[in-house]
Amino acid sequence: MMTKNEYIESLRKLKLKVYFKGELIENPVDHPMIRPSMNSVAKTYELAEKEEYRDIMTAISNLTGKRINRFCHLHQSTDDLVKKVKMQRLMGQQTAACFQRCVGMDAFNAIYSTTYEMDQALGTEYHKRFVEYMKYVQDNDLTVDGAMTDPKGDRGLAPSKQEDPDMYLHIVEVRPDGIVVRGAKAHQTGAINSHEHLIMPTVAMKEDDKDYAVSFACPSDAEGIFMVYGRQSCDTRKLEPGADIDLGNSQFGGHEALVVFDNVFIPNERVFMCKEYQFAGMMVERFAGYHRQSYGGCKVGVGDVLIGAAALAADYNGVPKASHIKDKLIEMMHLNETLYACGIACSSEGEKMPAGNYQINLLLANVCKQNVTRMPYEIARLAEDIAGGLMVTMPSEQDFKDEKIGPYVKKYLKGAVGVSTENRLRILRLIENITLGTAAVGYRTESMHGAGSPQAQRIMISRQGNLAAKKELAKVIAKIDESQNRQ
């Protein structure tokens, strides 16, 4: 496994093409806008080195028998699925941000089981290729950007019916030694901090869409790939000299990027689906299930930090004993633990797939994510309520530290007796960061749209809720004789 420092140095060796505000970034690793998000990924390597986290952060590979980072693992039991959620909660607690390796981990498991069943049905060799790729990823402890979401263009049209065919990433040429692809993947979490991109189709497809049914892996700096860094609320604060207090979370963060594939060649050994449209839906559904499980861990960990920050804000405001404050904190904890319970439940109810790895209970995973589209918003609202209006009206760090203005800021923004003004401002800025600032991308808004927007989960709940069986249960209890309906 790589160490934290080895991971950072491995990124320096990549020749990434990253654009931000119209300019090519020469050194993404040390760019002040990107570095906090890279620190979050580095934490996954740092914790894996610590003995106290060995059981939760690492696992034994079923492919090589070696100990590997759990983010590179193919789940071998329901215990693995549960530990995944516990690991994600730990990471959220440690970073209060998105740590970006979950998407790749979820893609590994979805593609592993889907390619196995593709090979069984079609006589292809995609699973064999993917197993070799997974050995490469595990042996080198790589961070992989699992990439599913296409720009989609006109949502009312299928991939093959789009006015611009590049609105969905697609195969433009099939060669004896590989394929050429063109298009883009949008909203890509941690793309700039990843060694590789692992591509999947984004929707179920019909025969007319077969050119869009493609899955493959490629290095992040492959010829023809470039990335456009996504803006975040309050992001330019990171560019201010000496910025610290105003950032709220100065060490960690997350990011999203638009990843463009401009006629990229992919060799055959890295192609895991090539026009097998009938299996696109299976891959999408399985990945979505794994990723919806993930939110029962990562969002809960960040929620733990936000709840703690709200409680500190109450202390620093001098109102920790107020009954309504206590009740709001209890409600925040209740909502947060409900999300965690869903993540653990869908993991505990997992099942072994034909390929040998374990998949979560899809129904409960979708219930988990449906709750995540709602509860973090209420947790954030309650945190903002407890924090008070100063969270969004306080002067800047420069004013606080100014020789002339600073004493007045310290005097008039002081809260509870015995608490420094600086500490009060710091905790309010942290709440602002998680609920409104750069971390809101990985907590608030991503809770709504990450791993599919709310309607996507409702569709899956409808499919998997087995309403017909529930009707039969009611008929038995009510002693209903259906033959009476025909009289």
Residues with catalytic annotation? 98, 102, 189, 256, 291, 295, 298, 446
Place of tokens 């709220």: 248
Contact 289, 347 (CB under 8 A): no
Beta-bridged to residue 179, according to DSSP, are 174, 266
Answer positive or negative: Cα dihedral of 381, 387, 391, 397.
negative
Strand order in the sheet with 225-229: 23-24, 18-20, 225-229, 256-267, 178-189, 170-175
User: Are β-strands 196-199 and 144-147 bridged in parallel, bridged antiparallel, or unpaired?
Assistant: parallel
Question: What is the distance between the alpha carbons of residues 487 and 478, in angstroms, rounded to a whole number?
Answer: 19
How far is residue 346's CA from residue 356's CA, in Å, rounded to a whole number?
Answer: 18
CB of 89 closer than 8 Å to CB of 340 = yes
Report in angstroms the alpha-carbon separations of 349 from 127, 225, 327, 335, 363. 26, 40, 33, 21, 10
Residue with tokens 């869903």: 342
Note whether 261 and 181 are within 8 A (CB): yes
Q: Which of 191, 121, 203 is nearest to 160 (CA)?
A: 203
The radius of gyration of the chain's CA atoms, rounded to the nearest angstrom, is: 24
